[in-house]
Amino acid sequence: MRQSPALRSLSTPILLSLLLVCFALAAVFAGSRPFNQTIIDIFLQVIFVVGLYTFVGNSGVISFGHIAFACLGGYVAAWTTIKPMLKGGAMPGLPDWLMQTEIPYWASALVAALWAALWAGIFGSVLMRLSGIAASIATFAMLAMVNSIYSNWESVTSATSSVVGIPIVRVIWPYLIAAIIAVFVAWAYSISRHGLALRAARDEPTAAAASGIDIPRARLIAFVLSGGIMGAGGALYAHSIGIVTPDTFYLGLTFTTLSMLVVGGMSTLSGAVLGVLILSTLIQVLRWLEAGVQIGTSTFALPGGVQEIALGAVMIVILMFRPTGIMGNKELNLPMAGSEKAGRQGPEPQTTNKE
Partner 1 sequence: MSELVADRISVAFAGLKALSEVDLKVASGQIVGLMGPNGAGKTTLVNVLTGFQPPTAGAVLLDGAPLSGPKPHLLRRRGIARTFQGGRLFRDLLVIDNLEVTGIGLGQSRSAAIAEARAMLDWVGIAHLANRIAGTLPYTDERRVAIGRALMGRPAFILLDEPAAGMSGQEAADLSALIRRIAREMGCGVLLIEHNVGLVLDLCDHIVVLDSGAVIETGDPAFIRASEKVRHAYMGTAADTHMPVLEVGQ
Q: How far is the CB of 6 from partner 1 (least distance, A)?
A: 11
Radius of gyration of the chain (CA): 21
Query: How buried is 298 (Cβ within 10 angstroms: 0-12 exposed, 13-18 middle, 19+ buried)?
Result: exposed
Between 246 and 346, CB nearer to partner 1: 346
CA distance readout (Å), 227 to 55, 78, 99, 122: 9, 18, 25, 11
Between 307 and 333, CB nearer to partner 1: 333
Closest to 311 (Cα-Cα) out of 273, 271, 281, 274: 281
Q: How far is the CB of 40 from partner 1 (least distance, A)?
A: 36
Q: How far is the CB of 129 from partner 1 (least distance, A)?
A: 11
Between 170 and 322, CB nearer to partner 1: 322
Cβ-contact 256, 45 below 8 angstroms? yes
Q: How far is the CB of 58 from partner 1 (least distance, A)?
A: 12
> At residue 284, what are phi and psi to the nearest 5 degrees?
-65, -45
Cβ-contact 334, 18 below 8 angstroms? no
Q: How far is the CB of 218 from partner 1 (least distance, A)?
A: 9
Binding site for partner 1 (CB under 8 A): 193, 196-197, 199-200, 203-204, 206-215, 329, 340, 343-346, 350-351, 353-355
How far apart, in whole angstroms, are the C-alpha atoms of residue 235 and residue 68?
12
Q: How far is the CB of 266 from partner 1 (least distance, A)?
A: 14
Between 161 and 211, CB nearer to partner 1: 211
One-letter amino acid at 321 equals F
Q: How far is the CB of 267 from partner 1 (least distance, A)?
A: 9
Between 171 and 336, CB nearer to partner 1: 336
Q: How far is the CB of 346 from partner 1 (least distance, A)?
A: 7
Between 17 and 345, CB nearer to partner 1: 345
* Beta carbons within 8 Å of 284's beta carbon, 6+ residues apart: 38
Between 195 and 227, CB nearer to partner 1: 195
Between 31 and 343, CB nearer to partner 1: 343
